[in-house]
Structure 1
Amino acid sequence: MDFPVTFHIFGKTVLAHPVFEALGMFIGMRYYFYLKRKSKEKLPFNTSAAVLIGATAGALLGSKLIGNLENPYKLFEHFDFKTFWTNNTIVGGLAFGLIGVELAKKVVGHKESTGDLIVFPLILAIIIGRIGCFLTGIHEETYGIPTDFIFGMHLGDQYLRHPVALYEIVFLIMLWICLKLIEREKIYPPGFVFQLFMLCYFTFRFFLDFIKPRLELIGNLGTIQLVCIAVIIYYIFKLKSTKTVNSH
């Protein structure tokens, strides 16, 4: 396979990453609305709208902010709006999307968790997006460091590299299966599946970034890893207070 994989759309050559990213968001949202229609728990329109706006605004801001802060020196020394707008990371999107949802829920006075329904559409969207990351090779900063490990692949240069996008896809498929099994137990309160997803995904990303190129800011940790630590700590405390439905 030759990297990067490109598509010709309306006379322009486009990398696979933005194509699959857009496809992932579209399919993920369609899957979410399908599950929402089937769900027995119906949120009031004002609550649903507030949560959607909060999640979208937070995710948009966070994905770009954290994406650009991966290299803050480049951001502040040579600021370019086009570069700022095109730098994204799902870690920032998830973390700030969470903040946006919690703020929106406070505004409308909704206290119950609203996250479980989005978990599997979100996993599906990330998997599709990661296919695009893999097909783009080294032409966007979503690749792994050079390695002599058995899974090393040529992604567009002379080095064998960790195919981190494929690692993430495999992890997400396994996580999907585990969370489905937990969901079917029906012994945990609303929000538990989402909380577990966030804890597992951010823990995985913390370790995955050790085999990705990164600018070390504190010790040998990059910006994404520092965000991961904050989210991991938050959800450890959230899950410690969780009780099963049948507990007294």
Structure 2
Amino acid sequence: MSTNHLFPFQFQFFGEYYHYHYIFETLAFIIGVRVYYYLKKGTVDPISDENRLWIMLGAMLGALIGSRFIAILETPGQLNHITFFTLYQSKTIVGGLLGGLFGVELIKKIIGVNIASGDLYVVPIIIALLIGRVGCFSMGIDEPTYGLPTTFFAGMDLGDGIKRHPIMLYEMLFLIILLMLFKFLKNKVMLNGDRFKLLMVLYFLFRFLIEFIKPYEPLFLNLSSIHWSAIFIVLYYYKFIIRTLKSAFTERTKEHG
């Protein structure tokens, strides 16, 4: 039984209690889209508005499928008991980003677009994630985004009387750092598409590491579906990672040369 009346955050409407999480999810989507269109105004987009619309549609459909697929794999022991309701309720942003990536690449092949299209979405994605994570944090232990019990100074009672790692607060801090990083890189010369690749690699590496301080069910080799999603992204972008590391090493060598 919960010993912390703060979690989950709820509001009353016509005698019924609702989670604030749903409000933050909606705000994340609306504000993310508005930020995208705001940033797009000052940018020369080599992709036509029609093709950009198709790409966004591919991203949304891919995210819808991917978020559910990876989420149900987070609890492999329950795969034999999946219902439409549990499938609908299950979702994870890792699967959303992974599915969105596949959706975009598929649509781009169909409509014949060969230009990298992700850079415009970097800041809107981070802002949407940040807002959404406030909602996840507000759920306490009512949503499986909490951490393992800990004696770490940041440990919090999220609703069950046990001090746990506040995973969502860690992620919010990480997302703020990402925003600062991409603001710093705003006027840096980078290849088209590299900002999006950098976001994906950094975010998935973070999720790979943070997963170890969360209770999770292993999918394969004692790693969860989140772990395997992160490994896939690192392998998918391995050429970008090698090129970036080589470039950073070369720059450092020149500075000390």
* Partners of 2:76 and 2:217 within 8 A in 1: no
2:42 to 33, 38, 43: 38
**Paired residue for 2:91?**
88
2:66 equivalent to 1:62? yes
Partner AA of 1:30 in structure 2: R
TM-score (norm 2): 0.89
1:166 to 165, 169, 182: 169
Q: Which SS does the other structure have where 1:13 is aligned?
A: strand
Q: Which SS does the other structure have where 1:7 is aligned?
A: strand
User: What is the alpha-carbon distance in structure 1 between the residues aligned to residue 14 and residue 44 of structure 2?
Assistant: 43
Q: How does 1:140-219 map to 2 (within 5 A)?
A: 140-185=143-188, 187-219=189-221
User: What is the alpha-carbon distance in structure 1 between the residues aligned to residue 22 and residue 175 of structure 2?
Assistant: 20
Residue by residue over 1:71-119, the C-alpha shift from the partner in whole angstroms, topping out at 9 and shown as x without a partner, is 122132x222111101110000001100110111111111111101100
Q: Which SS does the other structure have where 2:126 is aligned?
A: helix
2:226 equivalent to 1:227? no
Q: Give 1:129 deviation, angstroms.
A: 0.7
Q: Which SS does the other structure have where 1:183 is aligned?
A: coil
Alignment CA distance shift 1:22-1:10 (3 Å): farther
Q: How does 1:88-127 map to 2 (within 5 A)?
A: 88-127=91-130
2:62 equivalent to 1:29? no
2:29 equivalent to 1:7? no
Q: Give 1:240 deviation, angstroms.
A: 3.3
Percent of aligned pairs sharing the same letter: 44
Partner AA of 1:240 in structure 2: I
Q: Is the deviation greater in 206-215 or in 33-42?
A: 33-42
User: What is the alpha-carbon distance in structure 1 between the residues aligned to residue 110 and residue 206 of structure 2?
Assistant: 32
Q: Is the deviation greater in 99-108 or in 7-16?
A: 7-16
RMSD: 1.7
1:48 to 43, 48, 52: 52
User: What is the alpha-carbon distance in structure 2 between the residues aligned to residue 238 and residue 57 of structure 1?
Assistant: 26
* Partners of 2:62 and 2:102 within 8 A in 1: yes
User: What is the alpha-carbon distance in structure 2 between the residues aligned to residue 20 and residue 214 of structure 1?
Assistant: 25
User: What is the alpha-carbon distance in structure 2 between the residues aligned to residue 71 and residue 158 of structure 1?
Assistant: 24
For structure 1, which runs of at least 5 residues remain unmatched after alignment? none
Q: Which SS does the other structure have where 1:8 is aligned?
A: strand
Q: Which SS does the other structure have where 2:187 is aligned?
A: helix
TM-score (norm 1): 0.92
Partner AA of 2:65 in structure 1: L
Partner AA of 1:57 in structure 2: L
User: What is the alpha-carbon distance in structure 2 between the residues aligned to residue 119 and residue 172 of structure 1?
Assistant: 11
Q: Give 1:226 deviation, angstroms.
A: 0.7
Partner AA of 1:4 in structure 2: P
**Paired residue for 2:240?**
238
Alignment CA distance shift 1:97-1:10 (3 Å): farther
* Partners of 2:150 and 2:163 within 8 A in 1: yes
User: What is the alpha-carbon distance in structure 1 between the residues aligned to residue 14 and residue 208 of structure 2?
Assistant: 39
User: What is the alpha-carbon distance in structure 1 between the residues aligned to residue 195 and residue 10 of structure 2?
Assistant: 36
